[in-house]
Structure 1
Amino acid sequence: MTPAARLSATIEVIEAIDSQRIPAAKALKEWGTAHRFAGSGDRAAISGLVYDVLRRQASSAWIMDDDTPRSRLLGMLKLERGMNSDAIASLCDGGRFAPEPLTDGERQALASRSLLDAPPHIAGDYPQWLDVYLDEAFGDDRAAEAAAMACRAPLDLRVNTLKAKRDKVLGSLQHLGVTATPWSPLGLRIMLGADARNPGIQAEEEFIKGAVEVQDEGSQIAALLSGARPGEQVIDLCAGAGGKTLTLAAMMQGRGRLIATDRDKRQLAPIHERLSRAGVHNAEVRTPKGEDDPLSDIRASADLVLIDAPCTGTGTWRRNPDAKWRMRPGALDIRLKDQAEVLDRACALVKPGGRVVYITCSVLPQENSGQIRKFIGRHPDFSVIPPSQTASVLWARTDDFLAAVYVSDEGLLMTPRRTGTDGFFVSILTKR
């Protein structure tokens, strides 16, 4: 396919997302099934264009003063891809499989309009109803913070220290262009261009033998901050597919008791194979059955309970740009209830002197500091451990890290703009 034909295909996919109200991944899959002539490079390029349009949906429409799929694509090419009107016009020439030529109005918009006077929700590309929440989180920086959450994320890997050392894996994966992550001592990073396909990590020998896992650097840091130690009893209360469970297992060096569970047993499906590949032998997966509590035998005995809480996922917008446009106000209320329930559930599991680590991949204060304040109000026997006390044992760059993140009385918040990670909130509580 020509670059111009890829633009036409992108407009088709965006139209399907709008008209059918379906996730981008499904729309792209259906387009690929209906256009089998498109090669893997074409599909990757079209996917990159579609997700970039979604990332810059509001600002692109503002630039073009029009909110159609075509206008959003044209605006994105200017804002995200850095193309001028002549370069865009050369692709939109009305030729075979190419978009129709630019109108005079489109040329003028591309040449003259900017985001200088755009309101924060336009400049930051997020739903207007979220402005009050992001204002509370970031104030006048909310447009810049949200704009950083609209950029494409790199591919981060975590080295499994049960099987390998980072320096060795850096060398063996050098052909993928990996570099060490700036904060996590276990992380590797692969930067991805606009049209780049994700490298086939699952086919790499280091992945097959369990030396590396795909995990955002922010997620790695959140797990590392828990301070899990060999010999402890540790519970991953919302384990899901097991990303943080694997990090905890490596921190425990195979010694102690690690229990992974999740209220949604479907989320646990991949964890068994991942634990086996990683060489984890001290983990027990407890799958819920009906209404029975899989942790009913545990009472005030855990050294550490980690909660990777269900949340709105606002911190992962770089990876899921269509999710922010499908998010509705009611979703926040549901998540707040879920978070309160899982925090209260953790209370009965942790022993005196033990720790509860509360993590979200959200930047909204209601899910983060606000949730912790309410929890301590309900459970005054818990208090927050200052982030400086936990971060100091992990990095040589502790001071730089603490200067980069947002630190509050309740915990710390990482953001793409400040730390180059996904957005993660971490609060570490101890039971007196």
Structure 2
Amino acid sequence: MTPAARLQAAIEILDQLSGTRATAEAVLKQWGQANRYAGSKDRRAIADRVYRCLRGKQRLLWAMQADERGAGRALVLASLSLVDGLSIPEIEVLFSGEGYGPKALSQAERERLEGGEGEAPAWVTTGLPQFVVSRFETQFGADWPAEATALMMPRAPIDLRVNGNKTTREAMIEALEADGLSPEPTPFSKYGIRLSAEPPPNLVKLDIYQSGQIEIQDEGSQLAAFIAGAGLLPGAAKVVDFCAGGGGKTLALAQMMDGNGDIYACDVVEKRLKAIEPRLLRAGASAHFMHFFDPDDTAQLEVLKGADLLLVDAPCSGSGTWRRHPEEAHRLSEDKVAALHTLQTQILDRAAQCVKIGGRLVYVTCSVLDDENARTADAFEAAHPFFDALPIHTLLEHGGLYIDHTARLTKLARTGHRLSLTPHTTQTDGFFIAAYTRTQ
């Protein structure tokens, strides 16, 4: 494909994204399957352009004075000018209307490109949804622009978790280097490996992935599972992953338990649970599965009662992963955040019933919004006085087998039993972790 044809493909994909709830990754994959003539370099270049446009979407639309719907052409034009730094004559070579490339520039488009960005409000320059800016200003103070930029602008690296029950991190780094990649140890997780995101490798085809020696998992997600402390429990422990989703944390918990005790992976979507099974088989682990076909069914909860550890990785906005899924930022609304907070408190109410006296409950989100984090934790604590705060540093100190630089993480847990991770402070996805012990 010519450079111009790649740009036209990016325009079409961006237009398709504006009219669907599908992820950018899914739409790009669908486009690739429907256009087999596009080689791997073509697909990579098109994906890179799409993500450049999505990360700077607010800024690019503002510069072109374009509406969001069907704005693929405006986004690509603005990205060439403002992100790549191309001059108008250079852009005109690509937008010539020849072959399979985009049609020639209109006079209005040329004037917008000549006019530059202009003075834009904060929500435009940072890329955040407009209603989120005030929340960032309150939560992060003077650091909020840096937090926003780290969350929205760079392409995230690819993090892997080494299955310590099968191999070592050193061996996996050597194997990845042998495959031509550039791995390095993650700073906090002792089982984490970080890869440069450019170009993103097809890891699932590697032998070390197929044999269950590595899993793709952000370091923040690894830390959330390790901090829960499944490895500190007695051999016959009962561990519940209450909102298991795709099972990343289920697998990390299984690694910590090393075949001891029982893990229950639960979710309201049966398809997600079925997707965990092959991952567990690769890892050499096992779990019990429970599909919550009715989340209010008390009979189902009876099966889970007596849990030594219950991890609630609750449904959330996913705002902590916007550097990976920038399209999701522009689909979030204030009403949706409020509804998620309500859902999270309901889930925690149900989950609390299953924890035994002396057992531990750990609440986790991959969000950076206090509405879903501190506010939800506050509501839980007010409604459940029989759960005591469990200081994060006690879990970090005893989790030394899995976590390094615990002093730095302890410093971030300013309120003792709560820890916030962000791309800016820890170079991970955004996560919130709160830990409790049931006393009566």
TM-score (structure 1 length as normaliser) = 0.89
What CA distance in whole angstroms lies between the structure 1 residues aligned with 2:394 and 2:87? Answer: 50
- Equivalent residue, structure 1, for 2:197: 192
The reply to whether residue 412 of structure 1 matches residue 419 of structure 2 is yes
- Equivalent residue, structure 1, for 2:204: 202
Percent identity, aligned pairs only, is 39
What is the one-letter code of the residue matched to 2:300? P
Helix, strand or coil: the match of 1:295? helix
- Equivalent residue, structure 2, for 1:287: 291
Aligned pairs (5 A) from 1:103-114: 113=116
The reply to whether residue 278 of structure 1 matches residue 278 of structure 2 is no
- Equivalent residue, structure 1, for 2:172: 169
Identify which of 287, 296, 307 aligns with 2:302.
296
- Equivalent residue, structure 2, for 1:428: 435
Aligned pairs (5 A) from 1:258-277: 258-277=263-282
What CA distance in whole angstroms lies between the structure 2 residues aligned with 1:78 and 1:181? Answer: 35
What is the one-letter code of the residue matched to 1:148? A
User: Cα gap change, 1:97/1:235 in structure 2, threshold over 3 Å: closer, same or farther?
Assistant: same
Helix, strand or coil: the match of 1:377? helix
134-143 vs 208-217, greater mean Cα deviation: 134-143
What CA distance in whole angstroms lies between the structure 2 residues aligned with 1:59 and 1:92? Answer: 21
How far the C-alpha of 1:411 sits from its partner, in A, is: 0.9
1:61-101: CA deviations, max 9, x gaps?
23344454323223323454455656545533444333345
What is the one-letter code of the residue matched to 1:407? R
User: Cα gap change, 1:32/1:275 in structure 2, threshold over 3 Å: closer, same or farther?
Assistant: closer
Aligned pairs (5 A) from 1:95-134: 95-100=98-103, 113=116, 117-134=119-136
**Contact kept? 2:24, 2:325, Cα under 8 Å:** no
How far the C-alpha of 1:377 sits from its partner, in A, is: 0.5
Aligned pairs (5 A) from 1:135-284: 135-150=137-152, 151-174=154-177, 175-193=180-198, 196=199, 198-229=200-231, 230=233, 231=235, 232-281=237-286, 283-284=287-288
1:356-414: CA deviations, max 9, x gaps?
110000011011011111111001122222333333343442233445x4734551111
What CA distance in whole angstroms lies between the structure 2 residues aligned with 1:409 and 1:119? Answer: 36
What CA distance in whole angstroms lies between the structure 2 residues aligned with 1:135 and 1:93? Answer: 44
How far the C-alpha of 1:108 sits from its partner, in A, is: 6.9
Please list every run of 5 or more consecutive structure 2 residues that lacks an aligned counterpart in the other structure.
Answer: none
Aligned pairs (5 A) from 1:334-345: 334-345=339-350
Identify which of 395, 400, 413 aligns with 2:408.
400
The reply to whether residue 92 of structure 1 matches residue 95 of structure 2 is yes
How far the C-alpha of 1:135 sits from its partner, in A, is: 2.8
Helix, strand or coil: the match of 1:417? helix
- Equivalent residue, structure 2, for 1:46: 46
What is the one-letter code of the residue matched to 1:377? A
What CA distance in whole angstroms lies between the structure 1 residues aligned with 2:22 and 2:311? Answer: 33
**Contact kept? 1:308, 1:358, Cα under 8 Å:** yes
Identify which of 298, 319, 323 aligns with 2:328.
323
**Contact kept? 1:123, 1:143, Cα under 8 Å:** no
User: Cα gap change, 1:269/1:333 in structure 2, threshold over 3 Å: closer, same or farther?
Assistant: same
**Contact kept? 2:239, 2:310, Cα under 8 Å:** yes
How far the C-alpha of 1:276 sits from its partner, in A, is: 1.4
**Contact kept? 1:387, 1:407, Cα under 8 Å:** no
What CA distance in whole angstroms lies between the structure 1 residues aligned with 2:89 and 2:394? Answer: 55
**Contact kept? 1:120, 1:142, Cα under 8 Å:** no
- Equivalent residue, structure 2, for 1:60: 60
1:288-327: CA deviations, max 9, x gaps?
455564331343x222111111111111112221111122
**Contact kept? 2:393, 2:416, Cα under 8 Å:** no
Helix, strand or coil: the match of 2:302? coil
Helix, strand or coil: the match of 1:275? helix
How far the C-alpha of 1:48 sits from its partner, in A, is: 2.1
- Equivalent residue, structure 2, for 1:24: 24
Please list every run of 5 or more consecutive structure 1 residues that lacks an aligned counterpart in the other structure.
Answer: none
**What's the C-alpha RMSD, in Å, of the aligned pairs?**
2.6
What is the one-letter code of the residue matched to 2:13? V
TM-score (structure 2 length as normaliser) = 0.88
